[in-house]
Every structure is written in C-alpha cells, then in structure tokens.
Structure 1
C-alpha cells in the first residue's frame, strides 16, 4: 500500500493506493493530483482566471458553460431543491464577502442587503446556458467541487485498474476495496479535543464526509463567524456532523445541510455516523 500527500482546495490530501507495482501506484497518484489541481483552478471562487470567476465578475447575465460546469451547477440546483435551500451555491457565493466585514454591525447591514439575492431562484440553467436574474448573485462551488473531486479520483483510480484505495481530501473520504483484506477504518476527530477521535468507523464502500464550524471561520470583533453561512440562524444546530453515503458529493452536501438544519429529513441511503451539538 503506497501513501501520497499533497495539498489541493486549501486542505491536506492523502492517497493510499494498492497497485501491482510502485510505478503503477505513482502513475495513479500523479493522475489524481493533476485532476484535483485542474478542478481547483477551474472552479475556484478566488482565482481570477477560473471559469467560476468569470461568472461572478460578469458584465452580462447570460453565459455558455462548459459541459462539466453545467453538470456541477445542475447537480447543485438539484441539491438546493431537495435540501429546501439549506445547501445553496448562490447563498454561499453571494454571502461570501461577509467574512471581510469590519464590524458586526457592518456584517448585519451587508447581510440584510444581500439576502434578497442569495439563493438559487436567481439562476436559470437551460442546457449549458446559465442566466442570472440580477448582477448581484454569485455562486460558490466550495461545498461541492472538493467532494466531486474525491468521487472523480475514485473513478479515475478504477479506470487505471486500482481495486483498493482511499482518497482523503481534507476529511472528505472515499474508498474502494479493502485495506490489506480488512475494511478501511476512519477516525472522526473530536472538534473539542483535536488530538482525539470521537469514534472510529469501518468503511467498506462509499464515502464519509464531515462538516463543522471548528476548522474554518472568521473573527469579527472576537466573534467566530463560521465559513458555512446560513441565511437564517437556527437555535438547534450541530457543531459537527459526519455522514456516510455512496458518494462524497452526497455525504458532503448532506453533512453541510444537516449541520445547518438538523430538522431536515435525508434520504434513506444517508447514514449519520457521528454528531456533536453546539
């Protein structure tokens, strides 16, 4: 079993690959790395020459998308619908600037101004044609593209003949096969005691993704503002939740949605592995 590490999507990434030869493992790892970096560059919210940036810094509201980006946005719109808007790329993108607010008063005022434009009802996707209803709405694929990259990595490894592997992009984990003939074991970190695991779970297939507020946040007047911004703050929410699902996209999106609104009822194939209440 060969182990590889790199960084993509601003998180540490790990690969464990069981291949017939070291050369085959190296080639597979290189393919995964190059594809991850391609996706990171193409769909980054912050990279000025990304395809996503051209949408958010637009001079026109009608755009012809690449097949891949159209597919990602179509997927995002589907999840916005089934999570009742809790997972929404337009909410994430339009409210992204709030983390730069100089004060809590400025944060509240700017949020109030942006909220009418911060949902996917302002997007219309017809084939590969995306139309915005206004010049304010932006989109952020940060809650989708990393998970898509994990699933893409698994498919890429399988296409190269790899039968056993683990892909871990910053805690979004997917596996195929076994680890030396036993199930993969995945530790779920305790957000309050980072050196400890809450639990360890066996993973025979699919993906486990964890969403939480402890890792990524902004400080405004000493108040921690999570990178996951909800339009309306709910009283009963999680500090962290881990989900097992057939794909990383499914696990990642439902972990984010349930983090914001635990009252959501996920599909039967979504398994809650671990939760920590606020």
Structure 2
C-alpha cells in the first residue's frame, strides 16, 4: 500500500492507494497534488488571486463565475436551504472578519452591523451569473471546498484504475475498496485526548467526516469563539467540547451535515446519512 503525507487546506493530509510500484504511486501523487493545489488556490478566502477573493472584493454586485465555481455554489446553496441556514457560505464569509476583533465590544459592534447581510438569501445564482443584493455580503467556501477536493481526488483515482484507496484531508475521509483485503478501519479521536479513539468504524465506498469546536477557535478577551459560525450570537457561538461524526456517500454530504448539526442539533438528518458519534 502506497502512503503519502502532505499539507493542504491548512490541515495534515494523507492518501493511501494500492499500486504495484513506488514509482507508480509517485507519479499518481504528483498528478493529484497539482489538482489539489489548484483547488486550494482557486477557492481560497484569503489568496488575492483566487476567484473567491475577487468576488468578495467586487466593484459590481453582478458577476460572471467559472463553470466549476457555479457548480460548487449551486451545491452550497442547496445545502443552505436543506439545513435551514445552519450551513451558509454567506454567513461564514460575511462574519469572518468579525473574528479579527480585538475586544468583545468591537466583536459585538461588527456582528450587529454585518448580520443583516450574512445570509445566502443575499445572493442569487443563475447559470454562471452570480448576483448580490448588497455590496457587503461575502462568501467563504471553507466549509465545503476541502470536502469537494476529497471527492474529486477519489474520483480521479478511480478514473486512473485504482481499486483501493483512502483519502484523508484533515479528518474528512473517503475510502474506496479494501485495505489488504480488509475493510478500511477509521478511528474517531477523543477531542480531549488525541491518543484515544472513541470508536472505530469500517468504511467501504463511503465517506466519514467529523466536525467539532475543540481544535479551531479564536480567542477574544479570553473568550473562545468557534471557527464554525452560528447564525445567531448566543452561547452556541462559543467553543464547547463537542463534535459530530457523519457517514455519507460523499465527503461533501458528510462534511456539510456534520457542521450543520453542530450549529443546529435539532435538524433532521436525511435517511441516507448515518450519525456515527455525537459528543455533547
């Protein structure tokens, strides 16, 4: 089994695949890394040359976007509706700058000013034309593009004729085929002790994603705010030791719903998804 480790989307990543020689694995990896780097740069919130950066720093509220981005945006808007706004690329993008505040007073001031524009209702996608209702709404694909990259990577491997592979981008995992003729075994870490697995699950031709508050957050005056931004500024916005793991046919599906359920635990999970673990 060929194993490669690298960093992408600011997280440690791993790819395992069943190939005949190391040279074959190296060749496949080089091809995959080129595409992963493209996705990372193309849809980065911060990269000044990215398509997302251009949208967020627009001079006109009607824009033409690439065919690929239009597809991702259509998917993101579908999930925004399905999750009743718990997953919202406009909420995440518009309120992202709020977490740069240097005080809780400044945080509240920015939050109050930007919240009216922090909703997917502020944008409309028609084909490859994207329209905003105001100049303040921004979008952030951070909650979907990494998962999209996992799915695209797995699809590329299948097109190359690889019959056994695992793709893991910072805990967003897709597994295909078997590992040494055995099912892929995935451990879900305890958020308070990374050396301990709370459970181990078999994964076969499916994806598993875990979302939580414990590892990524912003501190303002000793108060922690999760990187997962909730629609309302209340206690759910602050960091708690909880996480949710979802198994789904695709990584995008698993990732979006694990995030959405953290924001709104009352959401009804679609029947084709499986909640593996929830830590309150």
Would you say same fold, with TM above 0.5? yes
**Structure 2: distance between partners of 1:19 and 1:69:** 32
**Structure 2: distance between partners of 1:86 and 1:234:** 15
**Contact 2:183-2:204 within 8 A present in 1 as well:** yes
Asked if 1:273 corresponds to 2:276, the answer is: yes
Shift of 1:224: 0.9
**Contact 2:187-2:199 within 8 A present in 1 as well:** yes
Counterpart among 259, 264, 279 of residue 261 in structure 1:
264
Shift of 1:99: 1.2
Name the residue aligned to 1:165: 165
Residues 4, 235 of structure 1: alpha-carbon distance in 2 compared, 3 angstrom cutoff: closer
Name the residue aligned to 1:111: 111
Shift of 1:234: 6.1
**Contact 1:168-1:174 within 8 A present in 2 as well:** yes
**Contact 1:238-1:259 within 8 A present in 2 as well:** no
Q: State the secondary structure of the residue aligned to 1:194.
A: strand
Counterpart among 221, 238, 242 of residue 239 in structure 1:
242
Shift of 1:228: 0.5
Residues 21, 270 of structure 1: alpha-carbon distance in 2 compared, 3 angstrom cutoff: same
Q: State the secondary structure of the residue aligned to 2:214.
A: coil
Shift of 1:22: 2.2
Deviations 1:179-215 (A, max 9, x none): 0001001110100112211111111121000100011
Residues 235, 171 of structure 1: alpha-carbon distance in 2 compared, 3 angstrom cutoff: closer
**Structure 2: distance between partners of 1:231 and 1:63:** 26
Shift of 1:24: 2.0
Q: How many residues align?
A: 277
Shift of 1:30: 1.5
Name the residue aligned to 1:178: 178
Asked if 1:208 corresponds to 2:208, the answer is: yes
Name the residue aligned to 1:68: 68
**Structure 1: distance between partners of 2:114 and 2:96:** 10
**Structure 2: distance between partners of 1:267 and 1:32:** 31
Residues 238, 269 of structure 1: alpha-carbon distance in 2 compared, 3 angstrom cutoff: farther
Shift of 1:238: 7.3
**Contact 1:147-1:249 within 8 A present in 2 as well:** yes
Q: State the secondary structure of the residue aligned to 1:39.
A: helix
**Contact 1:94-1:137 within 8 A present in 2 as well:** yes
**RMSD after superposition:** 1.3
Which runs of 5 or more residues in structure 1 are unaligned?
none
**Contact 2:207-2:251 within 8 A present in 1 as well:** yes
**Contact 1:64-1:129 within 8 A present in 2 as well:** yes
Q: State the secondary structure of the residue aligned to 2:242.
A: strand
- For residues 135-150 of structure 1, the aligned pairs below 5 Å read 135-150=135-150
**Structure 2: distance between partners of 1:108 and 1:235:** 15
Q: Give the TM-score normalised by structure 2.
A: 0.96
Asked if 1:19 corresponds to 2:19, the answer is: yes
Choose 233-242 or 195-204, whichever is displaced more: 233-242
Name the residue aligned to 2:156: 156
Which runs of 5 or more residues in structure 2 are unaligned?
none
